[in-house]
Amino acid sequence: MLVSEHDYQRTLEYSFAALGMLKRAKIPPYPHFYELCYTYASGINEQLNERLNMLLGEDNTLSMENVLQVYREFFDNPSDLESRLTSVSQEMSSKIDAVNRAMDDAIDTAEGYSGSLDKAEQQLLGAVDQEALRILAKQLLHETQKMQEANKNLEEKLKVSKQDISSLKRDLDTARRETMLDPLTKIANRKSFDQRLKQVLELSKKTGTTFCLLMMDIDHFKAFNDNYGHQTGDQVLRLVAMTVKSNLKGRDHASRFGGEEFAAILPDTDIRGARTIAEKIRKAVHAKELLKRSTNEKLGRITVSIGAAQFRHEESIHELIDRADGCLYTAKRCGRNRVICETDEEFRKPKVA
């Protein structure tokens, strides 16, 4: 799989940060320890980061004991969401099995009743005196009552099971939706972005329409995190996420692409329209003044750099992302806090090595 220059640089930074954490703590870079620190550096698991931040010492390092503890907590066991999905699936399967058993019982009862009717029919074809007819009628009444009772029980079980299954289906749908959300910012995650971009691209090729992609990155986020701490950094991520989402509309799709980078898919939008939306987002982010919640200290304003590219019908998803990423990096290179589109001269002119 091809990797854009931006993705390569970002993952390289996460790798260095993870190795730095292990080195400071004198913890061997075994794959499972590296996975833990890389996940922390990337910021994709809010709960893990909060847990590690609580355990970091004054020198910003971890102990082997802490690393083992957090690894067992987050990687040895399934996540709460995975547990919920498994639990709901198992419960739904159990309810369906109960319905099947109730149906089997009803079928057995119906077959028995049918056999009783056949037997009664044979008896009636022969010579039957009054007493035998009375006994036969009594037996048929008893069998009919059994059949009515069985039908009533089945109806009640099906009614309860239908309610239970509907409730479980709602729980399952909720859990599935949560798998498509970033736990920190509560907007769509990378998985949701990948699925949506594929859908929009395929529809665009089918209908001949176009769309644009915005790639956004918070300026100087690492320095901000280092100066004010991860909790304030998380506050910044949530603020930017909500600002991006609130400045989109209709079928536009906002997501956290990874780390401090966000993306927006803009269906039925050309590059001019994308620039307008991107500038609106950039100005809205810059207009917000950040306060440290614990002290009400003013931390200044944050800014974002944005790159915009329009889909070309002959290209792949990777090529579109790579071009939008290139525009984003041009915005960074040109001073940050700006929008660069693929049609801008700054992006089209040869890059200086």
Tens of pLDDT, residue by residue over 35-77, are 888 888 887 777 778 778 877 766 667 777 778 778 776 765 5
Taking the whole predicted model, whether its pTM rises above 0.75 is answered as no
Rounded Cα distance between 142 and 135, Å, is 11
Any idea which of 18-27, 81-90, 190-199 has the lowest mean pLDDT?
A: 81-90
* Strand-pair category, 253-258 with 304-310: unpaired
Q: In this structure, which amino acid lies at residue 20? A: G
Beta carbons of 326 and 305 less than 8 angstroms apart: no
Beta carbons of 62 and 21 less than 8 angstroms apart: yes
C-alpha atoms less than 13 angstroms from C-alpha of 29 in its C-beta half-sphere: 11
Residue 252 has pLDDT above 90, yes or no: yes
Element (DSSP H or E) covering residue 340: strand 339-341
> What is residue 198's predicted lDDT score, i.e. its pLDDT?
94
Please name which of 279, 258, 282, 254 lies closest in space to residue 267, comparing C-alpha atoms: 254
271: helix, strand or coil: helix
Task: Count Cβ atoms below 10 Å from residue 253 Cβ, excluding itself.
Answer: 23
- DSSP annotation of 188 reads B
Any idea which of 123-132, 142-151, 312-321 has the lowest mean pLDDT?
A: 123-132
Q: What percent of the chain has pLDDT over 70?
A: 78
Rounded Cα distance between 185 and 243, Å, is 11
Beta carbons of 44 and 260 less than 8 angstroms apart: no
Residue 15 has pLDDT above 90, yes or no: no
If you average pLDDT over every residue of the chain, what do you get?
81
